[in-house]
Amino acid sequence: MLTATRFKIKPLIAALCLSPGLVVADNQLSQIVVTANQIEQPLSHITSDVSIINAEDIRAQRATSVIELLNTLPGLSFTQNGPLGTSTSLYTRGSDNQRTLILIDGVRAQDPSNIGGANLAHLMVANIERIEVIKGAQSGVWGSDAAAGVINIITKQSLETRLTLEHGAYNTGKSAVSTGFTIGDARLFVNAAHISSEGFSAQTPVGENPNQYESNGYRNTNLSARAIVPIAENQTLTLAHNHTQARSEYDAWGDPNDVKRADTQTDLSQLNYQLGSTKVAGEQSLFTTEQLDDANPDIVKGKTQSLTLSHQYQNLLMGASYTHNEAQSDKFSWGAGQNQKLKDSTNAKSLFATHSHNWKNFTFNEALRWDNYSNFGSELTGKLGVKMVITANQSLALNYGTAYNAPNIIQILNPWGTANPDLTPEKSAEASITYKLYGLTLTYFDKEIDELINWVGGQYQNIDGTTKIKGVEAEYKKRFEQWQFAINYTHLDTEKANGEPLARRPDNQVGLNLNWYATDKLDINLNGQYIGSRSGNVDSVTEHYSVWNTVINYELNQTTTAYLKVNNLTDKYYQTIAGYATAARSAYLGLSARF
């Protein structure tokens, strides 16, 4: 691993990044991160590759879906099978979202009945305060599903009331409200959001206009509440629930004028009791997806339940957990000529520890975790990171971690074909080196995966051999006077054991984000992305394109802001997957207020 790279950073980016005398005014090193090692730490004490999307970023871009925000970060890319609500895949340094753990306020959103893990299509931005992204092998901290990284989506928790209304293209309407209350010493936070859209045709043959086909609409309602109740001195009880109900429309394969519908419901619940530095956490995640237009039942359900005991002593966290995963499918089997009801479950016992410490100008992060699955056996994973502070604005970090990715239960049951009870976890190791100088960040990463899980011959199988993923990320951020500027570049090189690249990952991509605070009342955002060729694709419409978006925010008074958002500013025709449409130039007007 960590062999010499065969590529070069684009000259333009290198020139921007290496210009002397540039100073970053926006120092993020004091920001508190909770995801990297499961404890609250300032960013300066973390060795891992961390990206943070904060409230200012969210306001500037006015994105609709979480995937839009994540797509602005280096090392992340996505594909989508049409408009809002259709199947969405996120690639973290070349690994798809089944290998990236998605958390919502720390609760696992991974669905054991969904082959892709968390259902990213239904994660909307409304009422989100912050997103933490930890890239690299994180199984030593979080276990399975975190082989490529962890994304923690943190919702708003404010006593201030905030209201947002938006309407625009494709008859899309959004509304969101968040507020908080105090009842004695207790605090209660409540969020609600709704979005509906007529959308456009999901399937559209390459080169054709999606407007000539039947549109595929979408609606999504999200409700969340969190209560923090002090019980006694140094004792706190926290109760939280997050509910999402979505209905999406999509096209049957090869028929852009067909409309299929699916109902999806997700409920994430959490109960935490904390006594000093000791915490007991109980979590439950429930998932249901039902296809509404089939003549026969087609329902899948997933459930995850966990109980965790942890104790923190200074920068050492130790804990133990028990997790139960379950998936079931009620689907008509044409081969059997009847409804086929499949159900399976697995249990896992885990012990884990994370630790951080400083010595002179070095910071160390360590993690070790042991997981024992009822159907896979035991896995021991770890993570080690060291960061050397060279000067006040210069550092060098090295990280190495081992990881594994257990197959989802639904992959084993495989209601679409032949079950594979012999499917086993894929195992991986990743090393990275990161150099930071002022606002410049350069990272090289190298990953190897054994026994990759892939779809072969009508079922999921472990592929013999080693899959290799390596690449480089370059990011430069600069903030001065009325301007905030960020540019990033990612090069990715993937190779399966048979020598073929992993499909749909862009080999090269560039992202740009520019904020101009023109006056005290007016600020303008311009963000865009260039996507190069995608591995495994043969159609030019899925590669070599640039998409630009802009947002104009105008403060009407101290509490109210109006904004205009225009996506795909140049009306670029492109597809992330050949045969599936993307939005044309589209404009939206919005109003946000706080009380």
Which of helix, strand or coil describes residue 262?
strand
Cβ of 141: how many Cβ atoms within 10 Å? 27
Q: Can you tell me the mean pLDDT for 418-437?
A: 95
Evaluate if residue 158 carries a pLDDT over 90.
yes
Q: Can you tell me the mean pLDDT for 461-487?
A: 95
pLDDT at 466: 97
Q: Residue holding tokens 């072969």?
A: 456
What is the distance between the alpha carbons of residues 382 and 405, in angstroms, rounded to a whole number?
14
Evaluate if residue 552 carries a pLDDT over 90.
yes
- Each residue's pLDDT tens digit, 44-57: 999 999 999 999 99
pLDDT at 462: 94
What is the distance between the alpha carbons of residues 498 and 336, in angstroms, rounded to a whole number?
35
- Each residue's pLDDT tens digit, 116-131: 889 999 999 999 999 9
Q: Can you tell me the mean pLDDT for 183-193?
A: 96
CA neighbor of 507 nearest in space, from 119, 110, 77: 77
Q: Can you tell me the mean pLDDT for 573-589?
A: 94
- Each residue's pLDDT tens digit, 198-209: 999 999 998 899
- Each residue's pLDDT tens digit, 396-414: 999 999 999 999 999 999 9
pLDDT over 70 percentage in the chain = 93
Evaluate if residue 16 carries a pLDDT over 50.
no
Which tokens sit at 163? 């209201």
Cβ–Cβ under 8 Å, residues 341 and 328: yes
CA angle 36, 39, 40 (to 5 degrees): 95
Evaluate if residue 424 carries a pLDDT over 90.
yes
Cβ of 27: how many Cβ atoms within 10 Å? 14
Cβ–Cβ under 8 Å, residues 58 and 139: no
Evaluate if residue 338 carries a pLDDT over 80.
no
What is the distance between the alpha carbons of residues 586 and 477, in angstroms, rounded to a whole number?
28
Q: Can you tell me the mean pLDDT for 225-235?
A: 95
Torsion sign over Cα 45, 51, 55, 57 = positive
Evaluate if residue 216 carries a pLDDT over 90.
yes
* 346 contacts: CB under 8 Å, gap ≥ 6: 324, 325, 373, 374, 375, 376, 406, 409
For the chain, how many helices (H) and strands (E)? 5, 32
Evaluate if residue 17 carries a pLDDT over 70.
no
- Each residue's pLDDT tens digit, 485-543: 999 999 999 999 999 999 899 999 999 999 999 999 999 999 999 999 887 665 656 77
Could you tell me the CA-to-CA distances from 166 to 128, 144, 175, 429, 562 in Å, in that order?
A: 16, 38, 6, 44, 10
Specify the higher pLDDT residue, 380 or 415.
380
pLDDT at 297: 83
What is the distance between the alpha carbons of residues 93 and 471, in angstroms, rounded to a whole number?
8
Which of helix, strand or coil describes residue 254?
coil
- Each residue's pLDDT tens digit, 291-323: 998 778 899 999 999 999 999 999 999 999 999
What is the distance between the alpha carbons of residues 427 and 378, in angstroms, rounded to a whole number?
12
Q: What is the DSSP string of 547-588?
A: EEEEEEEEESSSSEEEEEEEESTT-----SSTTB----SEEE
What is the distance between the alpha carbons of residues 580 and 201, in angstroms, rounded to a whole number?
8
Give Cα 428 to chain centroid, integer Å.
20
pLDDT at 2: 38
pLDDT at 457: 83
